[in-house]
Amino acid sequence: MDKFDSTQPAAHRCLDRVVERLCHPDSLNAVWHNSAEGAAMPSRDELREIMNRLAVAIFPGYFGQAQVRLDSLRYHLAANLDSVYQKLREQILRGFCFTCEKQHAVCAPRDSQSKNAALAFMDTLPEIRRLLAGDARAAYEGDPAAQSPEEAVFCYPSLRAMLHHRIAHELHTLDVPMIPRMISEMAHAHTGIDIHPGAAIGEEFFIDHGTGVVIGETCVIGQNCRLYQGVTLGALSFPKKPDGTLIKGISRHPILEDNVTIYAGATILGRVTIGRGAVVGGNMWITEDVPAGARISQEKPYA
């Protein structure tokens, strides 16, 4: 019959060929990942849902429903947190399976490990809220354009970045693989602020504007510190093993003591210490310790 004649044979042949090549082990092999026990991979969509639910739990009214009634808050909070717990436990398990080396072995402990990590995380939520409320206060106090701490929760990328970081950091501390990094990267995509889940950050922390800020894995930041856009707290060099591969996990990022301020575009590299109350000027390039109370800035008169 005429109607069953193929009308785009060239397109067909092309698509068939592409499918063939993309399914060939040589091609597939390079991008295929086998989780332990054939577990599903961690899911971006589920993590996004988890983060949205946690934002609602921590800052009711600012996220989720715009109107919250105190008298029934408890009902909805309990249901919300139970869902978070179930979902998080599943994603943590997928994280463990993703990175597990015993690809095909049965590995029973992983499930209870996931449950325990999820519960331990849930237990830190009140403390996470306390810290984030402090971060909102710091934003208000540090920015002349801010009208109230509440405005900071609503509008400031710093609060979004810290919401993700303080959650990701707890999961990182619990040795959960993959998931903390995915949570951090969500905030990075949203705010341009890239904080590694490993970084330890003290109370009342504020990043103004924030785009381009990088805070490395082994940073230690004291209380009441403030950064501006484009600040890098990075590593100076990457020691390698004799075989030429990088040594992973050594302390290689700066320490900021309490009350340190770093202005826009400054770069601080290596395991240096910026002493208590020091102020680092914009665009500075720092690879050595800065004493407590110092105020350093560049002299860069134009030609």
> Is residue 200 near its own copies by the rule CB under 8 A?
no
Binding range to its own copies, per CB under 8 A, among 14-22, 219-227, 271-279: 14-22
Which CB atom, from 216 or from 222, has the smaller least distance to its own copies? 216
Could you give the string, one character per residue 147-186, with x where binding to its own copies holds by CB under 8 A and - elsewhere? xx-xx-xxxxx-------------------xx--xx-xx-
Query: Quick one: which of 66, 106, 241, 243 contacts its own copies (CB under 8 A)?
Result: 66
Q: Compute the distance between CA of residue 249 and CA of residue 246 in angstroms, rounded to an integer.
A: 10
* DSSP classification of residue 246: B
CA-wise closest residue to 279 among 268, 202, 145: 268
> Is residue 76 near its own copies by the rule CB under 8 A?
yes
Cβ neighbours, 10 Å, residue 223: 17
For residue 85, which amino acid is it? Y
For residue 143, which amino acid is it? D
Which CB atom, from 106 or from 248, has the smaller least distance to its own copies? 248
Q: Compute the distance between CA of residue 82 and CA of residue 87 in angstroms, rounded to an integer.
A: 9
> Is residue 198 near its own copies by the rule CB under 8 A?
yes
Q: Compute the distance between CA of residue 254 and CA of residue 262 in angstroms, rounded to an integer.
A: 12
Cβ at position 1, least distance to its own copies in Å? 6
Which CB atom, from 57 or from 227, has the smaller least distance to its own copies? 57
* Footprint (CB under 8 A) of its own copies, residues 263-302: 264-265, 267, 269, 281-286, 296-300, 302
> Is residue 235 near its own copies by the rule CB under 8 A?
yes
Cβ neighbours, 10 Å, residue 29: 8
Who's near 1: CB < 8 A, 6+ residues apart?
none
Query: Quick one: which of 106, 241, 242, 248 contacts its own copies (CB under 8 A)?
Result: 248
Q: Compute the distance between CA of residue 102 and CA of residue 84 in angstroms, rounded to an integer.
A: 28
**C-alpha radius of gyration, the chain, whole number:** 24
> Is residue 30 near its own copies by the rule CB under 8 A?
yes
Query: Quick one: which of 36, 50, 54, 60 contacts its own copies (CB under 8 A)?
Result: 60
Question: Pseudo-torsion of CA 206, 260, 143, 217, nearest 10°?
Answer: -20
> Is residue 194 near its own copies by the rule CB under 8 A?
yes
Query: Quick one: which of 10, 108, 109, 243 contacts its own copies (CB under 8 A)?
Result: 10
> Is residue 109 near its own copies by the rule CB under 8 A?
no
> Is residue 87 near its own copies by the rule CB under 8 A?
no
Q: Compute the distance between CA of residue 23 and CA of residue 89 in angstroms, rounded to an integer.
A: 33
